[in-house]
A and B are shown apart, each in its own frame.
Chain A
């Protein structure tokens, strides 16, 4: 279960303060997969980091039970001078997993082959994303936080990701940010719309996307 109570968060950069959340309360439904949409700068990724706990709110509480993943995005907490394998080992140790099991899984899943022995800084963004995605799938989380990472790799890899993902859906929850309506529709069954005048919950992803397009008249494909 994930619940935000009276959460406030703002950033001050060069004297300009931007408030992202001000006393925001919300309890995520327990067994549903939640899509998060909104125009850029509305705080989608901030919300993700707050849920994960990689960022602290200025005020308020975030209550989380069960294992929540780190926010799966492109950047990832990889150390560029360490090899792929060393990074995998580090993350498995931190999450208390058996290192060899995780390595086997990521090797099979990511199809990075010998590249895993090379430093991360030699990786392309696509390779990094494959590694990050494979690594998080290797660890059993109760809730996966996905920040725009599903659209990675070629068609075959995407199909594979989807298969693993659907397998996970049986016992894990997903909270997902994506600009692709199709992706959101295939994984999520309800959604949060972050708009300038507030945060809105929709019981149905289709309804939410319709509202989103009406409000922002966006070119994003649904």
Chain B
């Protein structure tokens, strides 16, 4: 009896998640197939531009023999995180109309966006790294399971902070701007352009507080066969992801009624 009820609830949850993902896909990328293509082209293009600029000014890759691979490992991880946390932040406002249907909860929109964006970035990374490998600009990932761990940790941290952002935003609209200010320097402090472990100890002491930097390093340790990262402490972003997910979902539940009556 209880097993049956649990099974029905799980089936309902999956059904709603499926419907929400399709709806989000449609809302985010438009009705044309080209829309989804854009989602893949944009980050790919931004990495390509960076690589071209640095190649033109004759910069050596900070590590390994491929500038493109080095940047890609950094910027794709960063973009994945930024995109996820920003999209989740707007989730409540964008899905207000859905609360008409009692079966749907605001958390369903959060989970749907998590799945959609993770899948999109997984696809982007597969295509981008396959292209680099095909062009002879990169080797295959040395330890794909570590790369995958880094990817999952990035998704979890993006989900946790994105959910917290969404709850804060529902009470304080100006949080939009604050979040922008916080995220702006991430491109420079997350080790996208350099090997953070080679920086002077004073810089390392500050930068090692940035969880995104650890995620980038984690990704590289998995991708390169010989990338040594004394700065990397994988436990830090993983634990932070767990804590932020707990706080985010807890806060969502705690303030659900107050939010609804606003």
Contact = CB atoms under 8 A, between A and B. Distances in A.
Given A79-B23, A79-B97, A93 B15 contact: yes
Given A78-B97, A81-B27, A82-B26, A96 B12 contact: yes
- For the complex, would chain B's binding face be called helix, strand, loop or mixed by DSSP majority? helix
A75 B22 CA distance: 22
A56 B257 contact: yes
Contacts of B15: 93-94, 96
A52 B102 contact: yes
Interface string B241-262: 0000000000000001100110
B51 to A, nearest CB: 35
> Size range of the interface on A?
20 to 34
Interface in A166-215: none
Given A90-B22, A94-B15, A94-B19, A77 B256 contact: no
Contacts of B257: 56, 58
Given A11-B261, A56-B260, A82-B27, A94 B100 contact: no
Interface string A65-92: 0001011000111110111001001110
A56 B23 contact: no
A95 B261 CA distance: 26
Given A11-B261, A58-B257, A82-B23, A94 B102 contact: no
A189 B19 CA distance: 37
B101 interface: yes
B101 A94 contact: yes
Given A55-B260, A93-B19, A86 B103 contact: no
A219 interface: no
Contacts of B19: 90, 93-94
Contact of A91 (B11, B12, B101, B102): B101
A90 B24 CA distance: 11
Interface residues of B, number: 23
Contact of A71 (B26, B100, B104): B100
Interface string A127-155: 00000000000000000000000000000
A77 B101 CA distance: 7
Nearest to B256: A56
Q: 7 nearest interchain CB pairs?
A: A77-B100, A53-B102, A93-B19, A54-B102, A77-B97, A94-B19, A52-B102
Interface of A: 11-12, 52-56, 58, 68, 70-71, 75-79, 81-83, 86, 89-91, 93-96
28 contacts: A11-B261, A52-B102, A53-B102, A54-B99, A54-B100, A54-B102, A55-B99, A56-B256, A70-B102, A76-B100, A77-B97, A77-B99, A77-B100, A77-B101, A78-B97, A82-B26, A82-B27, A83-B31, A90-B19, A90-B23, A91-B101, A93-B19, A93-B22, A94-B19, A94-B101, A94-B103, A95-B103, A96-B11
